[in-house]
């Protein structure tokens, strides 16, 4: 789903479905390192749920293009597919901040995210219909049925 920089900045959607809290609020909430990040990931192939958790999660301000600081991985996925996204700046179709030679957001069918040079090993907020909704290293097959990102108090 193509959303603009300004939409990701303030947030959008329905909290019971497709929802983005807003990068400004993410930056404010994570500034004092009081939260960890958890991904809940449902495999499309085996329908099982898996998770990846990060004890360090911080999103810098808009002045820093919402740069991602993440670390301290744990979980029951086979691989830390989000690791390559560390240190990346947020990219949307209308604001290209990723190191790839082209903008990763439109290449991957839309959706803002912290894309690395290879556009990444996880795509947790893409439209499922694009075929680019995945987490490499998911034991049940890398394509996703559902994903959720959670802020959890430490």
Q: Is residue 109 scored above 80 in pLDDT?
A: no
Contact predicate 110/93, CB 8 Å: yes
Quote the pTM value. Answer: 0.94
Confidence of residue 14 (pLDDT cuts 50, 70, 90): very high
Average model confidence (pLDDT) across the chain? 93
Confidence of residue 1 (pLDDT cuts 50, 70, 90): low
Whole-number Å distance between alpha carbons of 24 and 9: 6
Q: Is residue 145 scored above 90 in pLDDT?
A: yes
Contact predicate 109/100, CB 8 Å: no
- Give me the pLDDT at residue 17, please: 83
67-106 tens-digit pLDDT: 999 999 999 998 999 999 999 999 999 999 999 999 999 8
- Break the chain into its structural domains and give their ranges: 5-153
Q: Is residue 11 scored above 80 in pLDDT?
A: yes
What's the CATH code, domain 5-153? 3.90.215.10
């Amino acid at each position: 789903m193509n959303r603009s920089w300004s939409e990701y900045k303030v947030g959008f959607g329905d909290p019971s479905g497709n929802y983005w809290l807003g990068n400004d609020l993410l930056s404010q909430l994570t500034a004092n390192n009081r939260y960890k990040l958890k991904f809940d990931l449902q495999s499309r192939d085996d329908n099982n749920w898996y998770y990846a958790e990060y004890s360090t999660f911080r999103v810098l301000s808009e002045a820093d293009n919402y740069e991602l600081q993440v670390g301290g991985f744990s979980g029951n996925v086979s691989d830390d597919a989000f690791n390559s996204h560390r240190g990346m700046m947020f990219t949307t179709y209308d604001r290209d901040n990723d190191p790839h030679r082209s903008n990763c957001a439109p290449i991957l069918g839309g959706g803002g995210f912290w894309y690395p040079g290879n556009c990444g090993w996880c795509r947790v907020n893409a439209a499922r219909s694009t075929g680019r909704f995945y987490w490499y290293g998911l034991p049940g097959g890398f394509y996703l049925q559902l994903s959720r990102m959670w802020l959890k108090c430490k």
